[in-house]
Amino acid sequence: MKVLTHRLWHTIKGSLGQFLGMAVIIAVGISLYIGITTAFFNLGQSQEAFYKDNNFADYYFYVVRAPESIIRQVEAVPGVTLVTGRIQKDIPVFKDNQERATVRLTSYPLPIENEVNSIQLLDGRLFSEYPADGGIEVLVDPGYFDANKLAFGDTINIVAENKKYPVKVVGTATGPEFTYIMKDASNMVPDYETFGIMMVPHNQSQELFNLPGQVNQVIVQLAPGADIDQAVKAIKDILAPYGNLASFPRKDQLSHAALDAELSGLDAISGFLPLIFLSIAAGIQFVILRRMIKTQRTQIGIMKAIGFDNRQIIFHFSSYAIMVCVVGATAGIVFGIFMASVFSDMYAMFFNLPQAIGGINYEVILYSLMLSLGVGVLAGFTASRPILSISPAESMRSLPPSKSSRSLLENLPGFWNKLSSSWKMAFRTISRNRLRLLLTMAGIVSAVALLIVSMFTNDAVDYMMDQHFNQESSYDYMLHFNQPVKESELLNISRLEGVELIEGIFSLPVRVHYNSRTSEDLLMGINPSNTLKHPAKENGVVIPVPDEGVIISRKSAERLGLKVGDAVQVETLLGMGQAHYADIKITAINYQLFGNESYVSLQQANKILNESNLLTGAVMKVDSVYASYIESELSDMTGINSIVSRQKERDNIMSLMDSMIYMVSTMIMFSVILGFVIIYNSVVMSFNERKRELASLLTIGFTRKEVSSIMWKETIPQAIPSILLGLPAGRLLAELYFGSVEFDMWYMPVIIYPSSYVLAALGGLVFVLLGQWVAGRGIQKLDIIELSKNMD
């Protein structure tokens, strides 16, 4: 079969542009498949192994304080397999540079191994329960350790129960609940410099918080298939006398939710993104092969006449498609492995997973090879079927002119008759090649839609940033006090030089009751006249806080099926004293993007507690010149539990956005390649098919420019509607993507700015122009002398 192999090389050489174009699309599809699927597999496996090795909790119960003995009782609940009692509290840290940070101090009974949410030592050594020097030894998460440039043996000053304690850092560690470290859902991204995890021996934390023999959290693992509702109810009953502050399943655990959202996002795109590229590649291969078989009809006839059988000839033609896929897959695998390592590095940056995320996944590579070969075989063999019906004798006769079909536009005679012959020609050619039209349109629509999706991430983040930093809140600092203070205490802070505005807030953890269902929530009390922090409607418009009534959080509204006008009961979960109850009417639903809380007036928050003029914190706007001065002054005030700087948050987000640019540009590049190849192929195919016709136009006196414009007329009616269709398709794709990703913690609207539509449409025009220009260069080389020669 050496001759056929030679012939195959010749065919490939003769259509090198198209061959490489298709191979590039396959390569993009395969590299996306390998890159994303490897990241998904590795991240998922890493997560699973980490969760399993460290007994990741299925359910969390927060209480005010409970004796350790209740652990035995919880253990006895049917369905419960493992229980750990611990102390976890957010406490302030005084840093050497006068700045403040907050750490989530979490206690661990020793030995750690068999406890729920155990930790894994990453560096240094484990803390000792009773260090020789009598101090306190702690572990911190690696993010906090690095961001604060700590070294083993360093001392950190923490504040617990209003007392300063020096603690010694002896190692770094991470746990399954700390893969993505954020203080709460009101943050967009982690800020390792000001928030970290501090791990201490259980006995030490009991001393620090004056909780001897007690815990404030019970975390459990449940048996697979256990009746979760029953078990949770039983545990809640056991914990009821100890002030059950909150209870939630694993899916609401912040770090897990973030990791899971990323995984479900990867899962969603690992399917559809490569599918778009591979199916378009398959389509192009099919169309090209069909055309090749049609034009090489005589040669196929000769091959048959010589004695080649159908099987050999079909295999020969299919080999073309298979070769495309082999070349594409090879390049795709190389680039895919590179992409997988880029993704892995990125995830290693985002998530604290102790096991390496990277690594080549041979299974994925094998699948990708099978996938691409499958595409080649499918396109090759289905396209080659007409070979069966070619008879050697008939094939020697020249073909009659291609059958023309009337265009649908001819039903509009008013319009049709006004068209010039070249436009009529273009429309009829388009409608004659329906499959090609469909493929070209699908390709352009996909490419433009992908352009929109690439740009939409940018828009969404930009919108969220604007909404988060400018609309919903515009403060520079948020303070939380150790205990509620009188409003008048704010005066001390407002007197600091550079403070432009300070507004009090009251954050009150509550349980919302409605129709015997409950949802834990945070009531944010602010003055109706406040200007620095607002709830917002679904469209982002801020809602003024009413004197009476509550603007309920989207999360609670969804969980409890609430609507405006309903009345709910709130139960306070302060962790001290008796719980207070109040009935409040819902006046609106809060769609604030981050830290989705419920809002009441400051007065109403106080009223619920039978208090007046109390605050738990404040938001403030400062003159940026005085920012560091104010920050250090605030840091010195012991009554302040935490200080959140918005500028730092913004900087963090911006630095993450930088890494996103590469992703966005890669996607834009892939979309343009897809669009370019589609147009290029469509034009080249049409050109090759009509070479004689076009050359005959040159003989009757058309200039090459005029002939080229005829080719343009064929592309424009396909390209323009496809580009326009691609715009809503892009939005739909973005919506489908968001729909498939579970973002319970955050409300993510699909935001696409008009400028992105314009840019995507321009991008579409660019690849159309480019593809047409490159493919159309053939017109310059059209040989009119060829016309007088034979047909084949």
Partner 1 sequence: MDTEVLMKLNNVTKSYVMGEVTVEALKETTLDIYSGELLVILGPSGSGKSTLLNIIGGMDKPSSGEIIFKDRNLSKASDHELTLFRRNEIGFVFQFYNLISDLTAGENVELAASLVKNPLTSQEVLTQVGLADRIDHFPSQLSGGEQQRISIARAMVKNPTLLLCDEPTGALDYQTGKTILGLLKKAQELMGRTIIIVTHNTAIGEIADRVVRMRSGSIAEISLNESPVPPERIEW
Give me the residues that bind partner 1 (CB under 8 A), please: 398, 400-404, 420-422, 424-425, 428-429, 432, 692-693, 695-704, 784-785, 787-788, 791
Least distance (Å) between residue 294 CB and partner 1: 13
Least distance (Å) between residue 791 CB and partner 1: 6
Contacts 24+ apart (CB under 8 A), 764-768: 764/444, 764/447, 764/448, 764/451, 764/675, 764/719, 764/722, 764/723, 764/726, 765/719, 765/723, 766/672, 767/447, 767/672, 767/675, 767/676, 767/679, 768/444, 768/675, 768/679, 768/715, 768/719, 768/723
Least distance (Å) between residue 694 CB and partner 1: 9
Q: H-helix or E-strand containing 82?
A: strand 80-86
168-199 CB burial, b ≥16 within 10 A, e <16: bbbbbbbbbbbbbbbbebbbbbbbbbbbbbbb
Token representation of residue 319: 């080999």
What is the dihedral angle through the alpha carbons of 179, 64, 744, 665, rounded to the nearest 10 degrees?
-30
Taking 3-state DSSP, the helix, strand and coil percentages for the chain, each rounded to the nearest 5, stand at 55, 20, 25
Task: Identify which of residues 305 and 784 has a Cβ nearer to partner 1 in the complex.
Answer: 784
Distance CA 684, CA 710 (A): 14
Least distance (Å) between residue 345 CB and partner 1: 54
Task: Identify which of residues 203 and 431 has a Cβ nearer to partner 1 in the complex.
Answer: 431
Least distance (Å) between residue 711 CB and partner 1: 13
Least distance (Å) between residue 429 CB and partner 1: 5
Least distance (Å) between residue 687 CB and partner 1: 14
φ/ψ (deg, to 5) at 387: -55, -35
Least distance (Å) between residue 435 CB and partner 1: 16
Least distance (Å) between residue 704 CB and partner 1: 8
Task: Identify which of residues 157 and 404 has a Cβ nearer to partner 1 in the complex.
Answer: 404
Task: Identify which of residues 432 and 513 has a Cβ nearer to partner 1 in the complex.
Answer: 432
Task: Identify which of residues 210 and 780 has a Cβ nearer to partner 1 in the complex.
Answer: 780
Task: Identify which of residues 488 and 788 has a Cβ nearer to partner 1 in the complex.
Answer: 788
Task: Identify which of residues 513 and 692 has a Cβ nearer to partner 1 in the complex.
Answer: 692
User: Which is it for strands 100-108 and 195-201: parallel, antiparallel or unpaired?
Assistant: parallel
Task: Identify which of residues 633 and 693 has a Cβ nearer to partner 1 in the complex.
Answer: 693
Task: Identify which of residues 393 and 785 has a Cβ nearer to partner 1 in the complex.
Answer: 785
Place of tokens 């098919």: 689
Dump the DSSP string for 457-515: HHHHHHHHHHIIIIISB--SEEEEEEEEEEGGGHHHHHTSTTEEEEEEEEEEEEEEEET
307 to 2, 104, 304: CA distances (angstroms): 15, 80, 5
Identity of residue 686: S
Task: Identify which of residues 106 and 298 has a Cβ nearer to partner 1 in the complex.
Answer: 298
How much is the CA Rg of the chain, to the nearest whole Å?
Answer: 34
Least distance (Å) between residue 408 CB and partner 1: 14
Least distance (Å) between residue 592 CB and partner 1: 59
Task: Identify which of residues 626 and 702 has a Cβ nearer to partner 1 in the complex.
Answer: 702
Least distance (Å) between residue 777 CB and partner 1: 16
Spacing of C-alpha 182 from chain mean position: 17
Distance CA 55, CA 118 (A): 7
Token representation of residue 33: 């498949």
Residue 721: asked if its preceding bond is cis (omega within 30°), the reply is no
Task: Identify which of residues 31 and 422 has a Cβ nearer to partner 1 in the complex.
Answer: 422
All residues at 6 or more sequence positions from 5 whose CB lies less than 8 Å from its CB, including other chains: none
